[in-house]
């Protein structure tokens, strides 16, 4: 076999190696495109989403239509309007520049309130079967905002209307979750994708 290869003219060998190199390059570009624009695998840190997700759970995130980070320009940008529904699990960038998964509880334009440990959206108490037994939702604490200037997040009160382009995100393990009650309503450009599979 090696002798046959040696007998091939050098031009033929160069063509063969060029084709292989081109295929490897195209595969690399395809994988990079998929990772940046379409798909991401993420490992959960902590138990703020328990019992739905635990520390070490693996989530598969669909990024199509969500904000891309443009660190070169210091901002994020959207290339389409993301499809975000109530109760979706989303991956977003926190105020500490960490990737975090939380549940969408309130959508833009909805009126939220926290009453007697329960979440009410547009005068309807939210049915939250995914919460641990006996969980209560405490009222927001915006003390995190004291040290943050020019934050894109909006501090929330115990009730209010969610402005356009913002989402109310909470963890399922309400008593042990740092979420919109602490860091505020999340701007859409900070949401990087939607969880479609986890284990």
Residue 3 has pLDDT above 90, yes or no: no
What is d(CA 144, CA 121) in angstroms, rounded to the nearest whole number? 24
Looking at the structure, tell me whether residues 27 and 124 fall in a common domain: no
Q: What is the pLDDT of residue 25?
A: 84
Looking at the structure, tell me whether residues 63 and 33 fall in a common domain: no
Looking at the structure, tell me whether residues 18 and 98 fall in a common domain: no
Looking at the structure, tell me whether residues 126 and 185 fall in a common domain: yes
pLDDT grade for 195, boundaries at 50, 70 and 90 = very high
Looking at the structure, tell me whether residues 164 and 109 fall in a common domain: yes
Q: What is the pLDDT of residue 151?
A: 82
Active site residues: 48, 102
Domain that holds residue 159: 44-198
The overall average pLDDT reported for the chain is: 85
Looking at the structure, tell me whether residues 67 and 92 fall in a common domain: yes
pLDDT grade for 193, boundaries at 50, 70 and 90 = very high
pLDDT grade for 22, boundaries at 50, 70 and 90 = confident
Mean pLDDT of 55-68: 88
Q: What is the pLDDT of residue 11?
A: 74
In this predicted model, what pLDDT tens digit does every residue of 154-178 receive, in sequence order?
A: 989 899 999 999 999 999 999 999 9
Name the H helices within the chain: 2-7, 10-33, 180-183
Looking at the structure, tell me whether residues 29 and 62 fall in a common domain: no
CA 142 vs CA 41, 93, 158, 185: distances in Å? 31, 18, 10, 11
pLDDT top residue among 75 and 121: 121
Looking at the structure, tell me whether residues 88 and 127 fall in a common domain: yes
CATH classification of the domain holding 189: 2.10.109.10
In this predicted model, what pLDDT tens digit does every residue of 128-137 receive, in sequence order?
A: 999 998 899 9
Query: How many domains is the chain built from?
Result: 2
CB 38 within 8 A of CB 63: yes
Looking at the structure, tell me whether residues 191 and 142 fall in a common domain: yes
């Amino acid at each position: 076999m090696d002798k046959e290869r040696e007998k091939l003219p050098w031009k033929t060998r160069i063509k063969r190696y060029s084709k292989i190199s081109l295929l490897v390059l195209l595969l690399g570009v395809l994988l990079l495109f998929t990772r940046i624009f379409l798909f991401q695998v993420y490992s959960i840190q902590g138990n703020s989403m328990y019992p739905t997700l635990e520390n070490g759970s693996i989530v598969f995130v669909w990024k199509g239509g969500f904000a891309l980070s443009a660190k070169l320009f210091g901002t994020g940008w959207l290339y389409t309007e993301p499809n975000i529904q109530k109760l979706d699990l989303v991956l977003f960038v926190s105020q500490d520049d960490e990737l975090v998964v939380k549940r969408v509880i309130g959508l833009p334009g909805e009126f939220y309130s926290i009453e007697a440990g329960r979440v009410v959206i547009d005068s309807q108490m939210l049915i939250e079967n995914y919460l641990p037994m006996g969980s209560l939702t405490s009222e927001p604490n915006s003390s995190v905002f004291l040290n943050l200037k020019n934050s894109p997040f909006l501090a929330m009160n115990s009730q209010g209307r969610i402005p356009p382009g913002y989402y109310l995100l909470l963890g399922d393990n309400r008593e042990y979750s740092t979420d919109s009650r602490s860091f505020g309503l999340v701007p859409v450009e900070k949401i990087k994708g939607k969880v479609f599979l986890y284990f």
